[in-house]
């Protein structure tokens, strides 16, 4: 059995994994084996949609990840500096910014003082209430924001979202429609993390492949999606979020223990590892920069 690739339309794919996959937080797995496919043309990895859009309208997704609405900032404020690594800080002043899949809005909170307007797009109703209380404009979906902000938004950001949506091409088209001419979309998504897969094999695949991640993009498939949506001047950059200590811990404990260091690894070695992963395009995260 093969599945037609939504990204490039190719009819040819191969099954690269069949077995239990993660269902929410680590330690929770599907009861049935799931087939994971890879397109033989663009290389995108995908499986049948086991989580539908309704899942994100409730608190179901956050609860499955062991998160609570009132603890959002505690868990996610620390991620904002990493996002500024992708975006820089000089593009937001006096601009209209929309962040898609923003949850409780930590990223928007940090740019709110500089931006002209901050627009949070988030399907979970409780998070939208949180966003409004903080002074952000809030919409459930990008399509809902088009009447007010279509062809007006200066910057659209989205991190760790496109891998969740049922139709990535439609997602990128809506990003495009929100932007003014010359506006920029910055979207980040995890890669297949080739070093971890090489080191840990199926044990890591069982964690990497999950019901909530319907897609795992590579550079080619992410670029194709943006091109089909109408974007130009597209750049894709690789970022390594996890240091060498994370790999060593995985090898030792055979499970995730967070972004930890290792007393035997100096900062110099760790930074070299990160630089090497990025330069050789083996990093764990992709960010696309695309202009309307």
**Top-confidence residue, 144 or 72:** 144
Buried b (16+ CB within 10 A) or exposed e, 273-290: bbeebbeeebbbbbbbbb
Residue 48: how many other CB atoms lie within 10 Å: 11
Position 4 confidence tier, pLDDT thresholds 50, 70, 90: confident
Q: Which of 11, 5, 15, 7 is nearest to 35 (CA)?
A: 15
Could you identify the residue written with the tokens 């030792």?
Answer: 252
232-263 tens-digit pLDDT? 999 999 999 999 999 999 999 988 887 888 88
- How far apart, in whole angstroms, are the C-alpha atoms of residue 15 and residue 17? 6
Tell me if 236 sits within 8 A of 219, measured CB to CB. Answer: yes
- Cα separation, 7 vs 41, in Å, equals 10
Per-residue pLDDT at 72: 65
Residue with tokens 């496919």: 37
d(CA 196, CA 18): 18
Sheet with 215-216, strands from edge to edge, namely: 13-19, 34-39, 45-46, 215-216
pLDDT (mean) for 187-194: 97
Q: Would the pLDDT of 2 be above 60?
A: yes
CB 34 within 8 A of CB 47: yes
pLDDT tens digit string along 203-228?
A: 899 999 999 999 999 999 999 999 99
Which pLDDT band, with edges at 50, 70 and 90, does 48 fall under? confident
Between helices 219-228 and 168-178, what is the axis angle to 10°?
A: 50
Beta bridge partners of 210: 22
């Amino acid at each position: 059995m093969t599945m037609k690739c939504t990204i490039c339309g190719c009819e040819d794919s191969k099954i690269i994994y069949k077995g239990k996959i993660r269902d929410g937080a680590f330690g929770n797995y599907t009861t049935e084996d799931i087939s994971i496919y890879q397109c033989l043309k663009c290389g995108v990895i995908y499986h049948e949609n086991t989580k539908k859009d309704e899942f994100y309208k409730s608190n179901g997704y956050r609860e499955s990840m062991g998160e609570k609405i009132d603890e959002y900032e505690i868990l996610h404020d620390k991620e904002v500096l990493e996002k500024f690594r992708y975006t820089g800080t000089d593009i937001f002043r006096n601009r209209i910014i929309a962040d898609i899949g923003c949850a409780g809005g930590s990223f928007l909170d940090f740019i709110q003082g500089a931006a002209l307007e901050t627009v949070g797009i988030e399907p979970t109703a409780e998070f939208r209430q949180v966003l409004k209380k903080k002074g952000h404009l809030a919409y459930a979906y990008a399509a809902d924001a088009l009447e007010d902000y279509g062809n007006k938004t200066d910057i659209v950001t989205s991190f760790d979202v496109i891998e969740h949506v049922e139709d990535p091409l439609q997602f990128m088209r809506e990003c495009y429609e929100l932007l003014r001419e010359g506006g920029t979309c910055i979207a980040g998504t995890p890669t297949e993390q080739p070093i971890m897969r090489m080191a840990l094999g199926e044990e890591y695949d069982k964690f990497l492949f999950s019901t909530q991640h319907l897609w795992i993009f590579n550079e080619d498939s992410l670029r194709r999606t943006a091109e089909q949506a109408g974007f130009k001047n597209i750049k894709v950059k690789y970022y390594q979020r996890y240091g060498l200590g994370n790999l060593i811990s995985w090898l030792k404990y055979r499970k995730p223990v967070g972004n930890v260091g290792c007393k035997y690894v100096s900062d110099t070695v760790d930074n070299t590892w990160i630089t090497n992963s990025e330069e050789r395009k083996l990093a764990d995260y992709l960010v696309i920069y695309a202009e309307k």
